[in-house]
Chains A and B, each alone.
Chain A
C-alpha cells in the first residue's frame, strides 16, 4: 500500500473532467418524485413535520415556508417531549444547513491527474457502480465483515441496514467511546441499565442537581436545559463542580472550582460523608443494593480532609454540599454527564456517580432518575441477515468486554495491519461524522485510512474527512428527506416523523435512497423490499395504529406506557438486571473482568511548567464541527477563543484578542492561531476552548482557519481499559506568541 496514495484533497480541487459534470443534474428523478406531492402547492403558512438533526436530541418541529416557497423557519412541536415547542438556537438555525452554499453538491471520485490526486465529479450511477465493484472485490478477497461503518445520525439506520445485509455488523458511532460510553457502562454495571438519550434524569422535579463537568446551558440539550430552568424556578439547589466558571456554575448555589482530574477524590469524599453521617436512604440501600458493607469500609479513609489536599475543595463545602444532597433526597440527581471520556478511568468515575445516586435512593424516584419507555415499532419484514464470520468486537479481542456498544477507536486501531492479524478492515463507510475532529490522535486515524482499500464518505458538507475519501457522496440535509421514525425512550413512549419540506438541493440524495440504490447494485434487493420511505413508514405506522398521513398532520404521537411505572412504588420489590439482581455498589462485573469492584482514586498527569491543561467544551449555538459553517450559527459565533486566566496572561504578556498558536506536550503545533480571551472564569492551570473549530478545508468558506481544532492537539489519549473510551483531558499546551515564526511556517 502506498502511504502517500491518499493525499488530502480539498473538495475545491476538482479535476478538469469535473467542471461540466458538476453543473448537470443526473438521474435524480427518484428523489424528486418522492417529495413532489408534498412540496407542490406548499404555500406560506403550511408546515411540514420534521425532527432536528443538528444535534442528537432530535427535537420534533415544524418547517414553515415564506410566500416565495422558500424554507423560512423551523419551530418546535408543542406535543414533543424532547422540546415542548421550543427549539434551541441550533435547531432554530438548522435552516442554515439547508441554505449553506458550501454544501457537497455532486458525487466525487478520487482520480489522478498529472500525478496529483484530484476529485472528479461523477454521476450517481458511476459513483455507486465503483463502490459496489470494490465492495464485491473486498468481500471475495477478505470477507464482507472487513467493511466497517462509522456513523452519527439518522443516515446510520439506512447504511447500517445495508452493511448488515452485505454481511458485516461492524457498525460504530463515536458517540460511545469518544463521548457517553463510560456513563452507560458505569450505570449498567451498577443499576443494570443505561442512561439513554434523552437522559432519564428527572430534572424538572429535582430539588438538588449536581453537575460534574457537565455544562448544561452551554451544552444545549434541549429538554435538560428546559427542565433545569423549571427546577431553578422551583428553587432547586444546583451544585456545579468545574474548574471553569461555566454558565451552569453561575446559576448554582455552590460552585466547587475543583482542580482538574481530581473529581474521583471528591466523589469518594462525598460517599464518606454520606455514610459516616448516616445521610443515606437506609431502607433503599438495604432493600435494593449489594455490597454496602464493603463500600462503607472502602470509603472510610476518604475523608473531606483527605480530598481537600487533592481537589482544593474546602472540607466544609464538601460536607455542606453532601448535606444538601441528602436533604433533597430522593429528589436529587448526581448528573451522569454526557461527554465523559476524560482521563481513562472514566467508567470508574461514573460508577462512583452511580453509587452516590444509589446511596441517596434517587434511581427510580421522582426528581431522580425515571424509568423511560420506548415506543415499540416493528421493523419492516426482510430476510434474515447473513451471519458474519467474525463479530466487530473481535477487532479488539480480549479487551473492553464490558462495552455495550462497538468501540470506534477499536475498529480504527484494528484497521492498521499488524503481523498477527490477517484481516482487519479494508473499507470504511463514514456517514455524518467528521472523524478528523471526532477521533483523537489524528495520526492514528490517518494511518488507518492509509491502510484501507476504499474510504467512502457520505456527508452534507465538505468536512475534513471527505478530503481523505476515495468516493464522496453528497447526502441531502434532514429538511429534504424522510428518515426512520424517531422513537427514543422518554417518560411517555412516543414517535416523531421526518418529512421532506423541500426537494434535495443540487445533486444530493437522501441516505435511504443511496443505501437502497447501492443495495440493488450489490444484488441485495431482497433486503430493501419497500418501494420508498413512504411505503416503509406507512407500513410501520399502520402496525402501531397510526399512518403516515396522520403523522404528517401531527408530527409527534404519544402512546400509553405498557409496563412498569415511571418510578418505583414505595417498598416495591424490584429486580435489577445485574448479576446479583441488586444495585451493585460492589460491582461483580468489574471484579469478574479484573477491575476494581469499588472505585479508587488514581492521580493523573499534571502539566509541566509553562504548560496548561487543555479543556474543551461546547457553545450553545454549535454542535461539534458540524455547524461550524452554518451561516445562521456562525453569525452568532464564528470562531472559538482561548480562555486564559488573567494571572497566566500577565505571566506571558498576553493581551485580550491577541492571536496565539498552541503547542502540546508532544510538540504538535496547532495549524491555526486562536484569539486569547482573558477571563477570571478559568483556573490558572488550565486553558479552555470550544470544540469544533479550526477547519482546514478552504471549501468551508465561513469555518476555514477560524480558531483552533482542539482534536489535533489531543495526542495523549488515555484509553479506558473497561470499555475502550478515549480519555482526552490529559493534554497540555503552551503558547506560541510569535505565530509567524519559521518553525510554524514549516508546519502550515
Chain B
C-alpha cells in the first residue's frame, strides 16, 4: 500500500479552503498550518501564466526527516505516510531543518507537527483527507498507488504531472497535475 495525493494545478483556484478545513478537522492552532497555497506567476502583461498549488508534507519514500529524527518520533506509518508521535518528539527541530519542502512547524505544545494525510482520523475510516473532501474545485485526488483503480492512480495515468524538488532525491508522494 502506498498512499499518495495529486493536486490539479489547472483547477485549483487557491481559495485556501484546504487550509481552513485542515485546521478545523485537526485542531491546528490558528496562526499555524499543515497545508498552504503557493501561487507562481510568470511572464509580463499581458502574456501571463499562473500555477496554483495546494502544498503540504510530501510523505516522501526517502524522508530526510525520518532519517534524522534522534528519537524515532518521525516514522513511516501505514501506506508510507510519514507521521510524528508527539510523545516521543523532543522538539529539537532537526526534521524541520532537513525538510526541503518546509512542511513542518513547531507546535506550541512542544512537538513538531505536520500533515498526516488524516490517516488515523479519516483515511482509516474510509474517508478522504479533510482537504480533499472539502475542495470546491475537486482538484485533489487521494488514494493507494498500489491500487490501479484508486482516484490518484487513475488521474496520474491520464495526466501529465510533476513533483517538487525531485533532485533532492526524497521520492515525494505529492503529485501536481500540470
Bound complex: CA of A184 vs CA of B74, how far in Å? 57
CB distance B14 to A247 under 8 Å?
Answer: yes
CB distance B138 to A229 under 8 Å?
Answer: yes
CB distance A222 to B16 under 8 Å?
Answer: no
Bound complex: CA of A370 vs CA of B2, how far in Å? 44
Bound complex: CA of A257 vs CA of B45, how far in Å? 9
Q: Contacts of B21 on A, CB cut-off 8 Å? A: 73, 87, 92
Q: How far is the CB of A204 from chain B (nearest CB, A)?
A: 12
Bound complex: CA of A83 vs CA of B139, how far in Å? 15
Q: How far is the CB of B111 from chain A (nearest CB, A)?
A: 20
> Is B95's CB within 8 Å of the partner chain A?
no
Q: Contacts of B33 on A, CB cut-off 8 Å? A: 635
> Is B133's CB within 8 Å of the partner chain A?
yes
Contact A72:B136 (CB < 8 A) given known A89-B16, A250-B48, A680-B45: no
Q: Contacts of A229 on B, CB cut-off 8 Å? A: 11, 136-139
CB distance B50 to A88 under 8 Å?
Answer: no
Near A by CB (< 8 A), chain B positions 43-58 give: 43-46, 48-50, 52
> Is A424's CB within 8 Å of the partner chain B?
no
Among B15, B24, B49, B139, which residue has its beta carbon within 8 angstroms of that of A88?
B15
CB distance A680 to B139 under 8 Å?
Answer: no
Q: Contacts of A679 on B, CB cut-off 8 Å? A: 41
**Interface residue range, chain B:** 20 to 34
Counted as pairs of residues, one from A and one from B, with CB atoms less than 8 Å apart, the total is: 119
Near B by CB (< 8 A), chain A positions 218-277 give: 218, 220, 222, 225-226, 228-230, 232-233, 245, 247-251, 255, 257
CB distance A681 to B24 under 8 Å?
Answer: no
CB distance A92 to B17 under 8 Å?
Answer: yes
Q: How far is the CB of B170 from chain A (nearest CB, A)?
A: 28
Near B by CB (< 8 A), chain A positions 581-633 give: 620-621, 631-633
Among B13, B20, B52, B133, which residue has its beta carbon within 8 angstroms of that of A93?
B20
**Interface residue range, chain A:** 35 or more
**Residue ID in chain A nearest B18 by CB atoms:** A89
**Residue ID in chain B nearest A228 by CB atoms:** B137
Q: How far is the CB of A565 from chain B (nearest CB, A)?
A: 28
Q: How far is the CB of B140 from chain A (nearest CB, A)?
A: 11
CB distance A73 to B24 under 8 Å?
Answer: yes
Q: How far is the CB of B105 from chain A (nearest CB, A)?
A: 14
CB distance A636 to B14 under 8 Å?
Answer: no
Bound complex: CA of A633 vs CA of B30, how far in Å? 10
**Residue ID in chain A nearest B33 by CB atoms:** A635
**Residue ID in chain B nearest A679 by CB atoms:** B41
Q: Contacts of B137 on A, CB cut-off 8 Å? A: 225-226, 228-229
Contact with A along B72-83 (1 / 0, CB 8 A): 000000000000
Q: Contacts of B13 on A, CB cut-off 8 Å? A: 217-218, 225, 247-248, 251, 620
Contact A632:B48 (CB < 8 A) given known A86-B136, A247-B13, A620-B16: no
Bound complex: CA of A432 vs CA of B126, how far in Å? 40
> Is A683's CB within 8 Å of the partner chain B?
yes
> Is A329's CB within 8 Å of the partner chain B?
no
Q: Contacts of A247 on B, CB cut-off 8 Å? A: 13-14, 50, 52
Among A66, A89, A95, A255, which residue has its beta carbon within 8 angstroms of that of B46?
A255
> Is B135's CB within 8 Å of the partner chain A?
yes
Q: Contacts of B30 on A, CB cut-off 8 Å? A: 631-632, 635
> Is A441's CB within 8 Å of the partner chain B?
no
Select the residue from A83, A88, A248, A637 with max chain B CB neighbours within 10 A: A88
> Is B19's CB within 8 Å of the partner chain A?
yes
> Is B25's CB within 8 Å of the partner chain A?
yes
Bound complex: CA of A465 vs CA of B24, how far in Å? 31
**Residue ID in chain A nearest B51 by CB atoms:** A250
> Is A303's CB within 8 Å of the partner chain B?
no
Bound complex: CA of A202 vs CA of B14, how far in Å? 23
Contact A245:B14 (CB < 8 A) given known A631-B30, A632-B24, A635-B31: no
**Residue ID in chain B nearest A86 by CB atoms:** B136
The 10 A-B residue pairs whose C-beta atoms are closest, nearest first, are A620-B15, A217-B13, A229-B137, A73-B24, A89-B17, A250-B50, A257-B46, A92-B20, A93-B20, A680-B45
Query: Which residues of chain B have a CB within 8 Å of any CB of chain A?
Result: 10-11, 13-17, 19-21, 23-25, 27, 30-31, 33, 41, 43-46, 48-50, 52, 133-139
Q: List 22 A-B contacts (CB under 8 A).
A: A66-B27, A83-B136, A88-B17, A89-B16, A89-B17, A225-B13, A226-B136, A226-B137, A229-B136, A229-B138, A229-B139, A232-B10, A247-B14, A248-B13, A250-B49, A257-B46, A621-B15, A631-B30, A632-B23, A635-B30, A680-B43, A681-B45
